Structure 1
Amino acid sequence: MDHLNTGIWRKAGHSTSNGGACVEVASAPGAIAVRDSKDPQGPILVMPRTHFRRLTDTLKGD
């Protein structure tokens, strides 16, 4: 997924600039990519959009 290196990564609006425990997400064709904001050159988790939706719904308690 080379295009993720040049993609637009977004951090949650509730994140602070002090380097807290945040993740960033980016859109890929048919998938969502997630990485640690403190280690942007580190590993990237890529999952289908449906799995990402299920993950976020679970985290929100929906």
Structure 2
Amino acid sequence: MTNVDDRVAEMVENARRQIAARKKQREELAAARRRGLAARHAQKLRHFADRLDNSTPAASAA
């Protein structure tokens, strides 16, 4: 009976490790996604600011 209990405990421990590994991976992917979205948004704002800067002198040239 001890062998069965040991095997069950081993299976439970393996399952817990897998769950923890998947959770860590999800957290890492979520963090990478947040960084990517922040960088994308910053690039969009820089592009928008450049467009405003480029259009201002042309409008005031008279």
Q: TM-score, normalised by structure 1?
A: 0.24
Higher share in helix: 2
Give the structure with higher Rg (CA): 2
Higher share in strand: 1
